[in-house]
Amino acid sequence: MPDPLASQAGRAQGAVAYAMDALRLRPASRRALSVLAVVLSLAGAGMFAYPLFTDVYASEVLQDQLEDRYASEGFKQRYVTRTVRHGDPLTRIVIPSLGVSAVVVEGTSAAALRAGAGHYPNTPLPGEAGNVAIAGHRTTYGKPFNRIDELAVGARIRLETPLATYTYRVVGHPDDAAQPCPNGACWITHPGDWGVVSPTPGRMLTLTTCHPKGSAAQRLIVRAQLTSTTPPRSRTS
């Protein structure tokens, strides 16, 4: 017995093929289809090229500029006098286990985060008491926080400043975390959970980034505790 669904599908496919053939027979329609094909091709290429472009821009342009400003005496003076402005370099974050080394700017606006990572302005400076909070891109713009979900408890994170280098060690997720990561360190929350950057006892560091990769639907959080303070590293090393 013939399959009625297959017959209907066949008729539908035939109708679509007929319509496309009819369009191709008209010169104007052919031109429109050609233009549409080019537009779709360019759009597709742009989607793939955008992350690469932003990575190169952040890593090779913005970070180089920030490195020069970070090494300047003017930056040291602004840091000591606490007059660092939005978008200025604030600290360098180094995560040895992930191969991350990036200058962090002051501010978490879209413009500031084009550098890759930014310090929440209302949180303490590196090494100070409370909760130092830094946001970073997980994809695009150098993606310094691309793999922070891989950080295990005990992993080291350094914040280098003109005053000192502060070493933090990753701690486990809170006991009440609704969505803990399998490795026991990070956890996932919603974008409106500002509690993750609220003041904490002791001297803590909180890293925030988007989750899942390529989406801003949720936030992935890693927290670390200050364990040591050392003199600043030589600028010539």
Residue type, 97: S
Rounded to 5°, the CA angle 33-37-42 comes to 150
Neighbours of 149 (CB within 10 A): 21
Q: What share of the chain is helix, strand, coil (3-state, %, to 5)?
A: 35, 25, 35
Has residue 101 got a pLDDT over 90?
yes
Closest CA to 93 of 228, 205, 211, 197: 205
Percentage of the residues of the chain whose pLDDT score is greater than 90: 56
Has residue 40 got a pLDDT over 70?
no
Has residue 61 got a pLDDT over 90?
no
Bridge partners of 205, per DSSP, are: 132, 224
CA distance 116 to 229: 25
CA dihedral 117, 132, 73, 93 (to 10 degrees): -50
Closest CA to 104 of 49, 51, 166, 153: 166
pLDDT-derived band of residue 62, with 50, 70 and 90 as boundaries?
confident
- Retrieve residue 71's tokens: 């090494």
Residue type, 192: G
pLDDT-derived band of residue 211, with 50, 70 and 90 as boundaries?
very high
Q: What is the DSSP string of 104-125?
A: EEE--STTGGGGSEEE-TTSPP
Q: What is the pLDDT of residues 108-141, one digit of tens each?
A: 999 888 888 999 999 999 999 999 999 999 988 8
Q: What is the pLDDT of residues 5-36, one digit of tens each?
A: 344 445 555 555 555 565 455 555 555 555 55
Q: In the predicted model, what is the mean pLDDT of residues 88-100?
A: 96
Has residue 2 got a pLDDT over 70?
no
CA distance 226 to 170: 9
